[in-house]
Amino acid sequence: MKKSPLQIARAAYQPKLPKTLKNQVKLVEGEKTQSVADQNEIEKLFPNTYGMPLLKFVESSEKSDFSAINAGVILSGGQAPGGHNVISGLFDGLKAIHKDSKLYGFLIGPGGLVDHKYIELTAEIIDEYRNTGGFDIIGSGRTKLEDPVQFEKGLEILKKLNIKALVIIGGDDSNTNACVLAEYYAAKNAGIQVIGCPKTIDGDLKNEMIETSFGFDTACKVYSELIGNIQRDCNSSRKYWHFIKLMGRSASHIALECALQTQPNFCIVSEEVEAKKQSLDEIVTNIAQSVSNRAKDGNDFGTVLIPEGLIEFIPEMRLLMDELNDFLAHHADEFSAIEKNKQRDYMTCKLSPKNAIVYASLPEGVAHQLTLDRDPHGNVQVSLIETEKLLAEMVGVKLAQWKKDGKYMGKFATQVHFFGYEGRCAAPSNYDADYCYALGYTASLLIVNGKTGYMSSVRNTTEPAENWIAGGVPVTMMMNMEKRHGEMKPVIQKALVKLNGSPFKTFAANREQWAKETCYVYPGPIQYFGPTEVCDQPSKTLLLEQGKTT
């Protein structure tokens, strides 16, 4: 495989590890835990992995000798920068435990475990992928591990390869599945440990023990570079309003972080929309007012950032989508059999009167997008809903009416964008390269200490890497009950933007100025080499949350 000069240079980068992990360590158990909500229900579902203590690795003077360990690893769900470094850290950690330890990669996600498709990951293979983006070392997939038949099929190959532990690298749903698998194997005394690692560029898998999910830092830097490029063009041509949709299905962390990095004229935060119970028309009016105010100063250009999942946070849209999800969970085949040109009328008749009115009022394209195939978890694929086009068109209609009424005298032309895949497989930033390597290495230590049902945890990451704190958090601690496919299921609770948190407060304190004036920041590309203040900085969100910047 031909490599670019950057790939060659990055291959030589040695990720930093917490000082603790470079030496002999021992495991210290902390407080017993309970789930964030629905404690009785979660405990009943996970009797073998519920209530376990928090874990922390500390330096030890005692030297330990361990036997060789065979482990497996799975990449699950969407890609995120740094996944290869998690595997590299896991591999190096296992080899440090014993030189004869082996690591097997199951191919194309959890389906590889069920279908017995795997490769042994050798040092030669691992070295090809260190510090690179993507998940192509073994591929990823979205197969859900939730059926005992799948668990038993997986157990067959794990026993055949003498694998004692399985590491699942994924987001909230993937780690929920990992916990279900851990519980099943623990109940059977199968001798298989299951460890999770927190991945998702959306940034919604975090809590007091998981500071951030890997990939968020890199993706936001990539998107911010692109937004900065657009804003430079915008400020040069001075004739377009750019409506930019950003990934973030269930939370607005990416949109908020990119706003803090680039200072756009308008940024929607879905959680605020929900808290204020804003209607679609209110959102459109607010953007139109910003356009009008800038036009008075002769600025017929600007940028609007839109979180991917916005439409689910608009109260009347959320009620509609919940009913659509429930209906299609039980009648998908019936609906798909209806002629395309009659599906809208059919669905309108099946909905409750209030939701039917909302559904019938939507543009044809959006109404169709709301009934497309669900994701594996039974939810609308919001990335397929062109919210950026919807808002651009609706703002245009409102401004045209205002112009007719003499309330607006500017010019309004738009460009629309959706930044998604551009950020998912980028080469990891220094922060993500280090963080991911430490997560994988920590997972190897959780394995050798016999733990299962835990997620690898690395904290204190706004400090130099040598001061990072490594340990483990029980996955059940993060769980609550939510409706999926029309039924209540245990899932990891998503972390939404906190409106009383420092990142949002910082944004809110500045957005009026950004809306009126042209305060654009052009971050430029991710820096791998150079002064620390340029190339080794974590996200502004994390710095603000830790009180490290203003």
pLDDT digits (tens, 9 = 90+) for 53-72: 999 999 998 888 899 999 99
Which residue do the tokens 């409706």 mark? 483
* 273: enclosing H helix or E strand: helix 270-275
List of residues 6+ apart from 542 with CB closer than 8 A? 211, 212, 217, 461, 462
Q: Which DSSP category does 141 fall into? A: B
Tokens of 119: 């490769």
Q: What's the per-residue H, E or C state across 398-466?
A: HHHHHHHCCCCCCCCCEEEEEECHHHHCCCCCHHHHHHHHHHHHHHHHHHHCCCCCEEEEEECCCCCHH
Q: Region 108-119: what's the mean pLDDT?
A: 98
Q: Which pLDDT band, with edges at 50, 70 and 90, does 249 fall under?
A: confident
Catalytic choice (172, 173, 202, 204): 202
Q: What is the pLDDT of residue 362?
A: 81
Give the span between the Cα atoms of 243 and 306, in whole angstroms.
Answer: 7
Tokens of 267: 């940024």
Angle of helix 430-448 relative to helix 216-237, nearest 10 degrees, comes to 170
Which residue do the tokens 């990335």 mark? 383
CATH number of 216-246+248-308+386-419+494-550: 3.40.50.460
Q: What is the pLDDT of residue 275?
A: 97
Q: What is the pLDDT of residue 188?
A: 97
Q: Does domain 313-385 have CATH number 1.10.10.480?
A: yes
Inter-residue contact 290 to 302 (CB < 8 Å):
yes
Give the span between the Cα atoms of 402 and 365, in whole angstroms.
Answer: 25
Query: Over 80: is that where the pLDDT of 385 sits?
Result: yes
Q: What's the gap between Cα 217 and its chain centre?
A: 11
In angstroms, the first-to-last Cα distance of the chain is: 45
Q: What is the pLDDT of residue 341?
A: 87
Active-site residue 202, yes or no? yes
Give the span between the Cα atoms of 172 and 30, in whole angstroms.
Answer: 23
Tokens of 443: 């997972």
Predicted confidence (pLDDT) per residue in 182-196, tens digit: 999 999 999 999 999
Range 120-158 burial, b when 16+ CB lie within 10 A, else e: ebeeebbeebbbbbbbebbbbbbbbbbeeebbeebbebb
Q: What is the pLDDT of residue 509?
A: 98
Which residue do the tokens 């009008």 mark? 292
Q: What is the pLDDT of residue 487?
A: 86
Percent of the chain past pLDDT 70, that is, above it, reads: 98
Q: What is the pLDDT of residue 326?
A: 87
Q: How far is residue 384 from each of residues 80, 115, 372, 423, measured CA to CA in Å?
A: 20, 30, 8, 17
Tokens of 138: 């073994």
Give the span between the Cα atoms of 203 and 439, in whole angstroms.
Answer: 16
Name the residue ranges covered by the structural domains of the chain.
16-201+429-484, 216-246+248-308+386-419+494-550, 313-385
Q: What is the CA radius of gyration of the chain?
A: 24
Range 313-324 burial, b when 16+ CB lie within 10 A, else e: bbeebeebbebb
Predicted confidence (pLDDT) per residue in 320-354, tens digit: 988 998 898 888 889 889 998 889 999 999 999 99
Q: What is the pLDDT of residue 264?
A: 98
- Dihedrals phi, psi of 441, to nearest 5 degrees: -65, -40
Query: Over 70: is that where the pLDDT of 375 sits?
Result: no
Among the listed residues 201, 251, 119, the one whose alpha carbon sits nearest the alpha carbon of residue 425: 201
Give the span between the Cα atoms of 300 and 396, in whole angstroms.
Answer: 13
Inter-residue contact 323 to 352 (CB < 8 Å):
yes
CATH number of 16-201+429-484: 3.40.50.450
Tokens of 146: 């939730």
Q: Would you say the CATH fold of 313-385 matches that of 216-246+248-308+386-419+494-550?
A: no
List of residues 6+ apart from 374 with CB closer than 8 A? 325, 328, 329, 332, 380, 381
Task: Tell me the H-state helices in 19-147.
Answer: 39-45, 83-97, 110-114, 123-129
Query: Over 60: is that where the pLDDT of 550 sits?
Result: no
Percent of the chain past pLDDT 90, that is, above it, reads: 83
Q: Region 303-331: what's the mean pLDDT?
A: 91
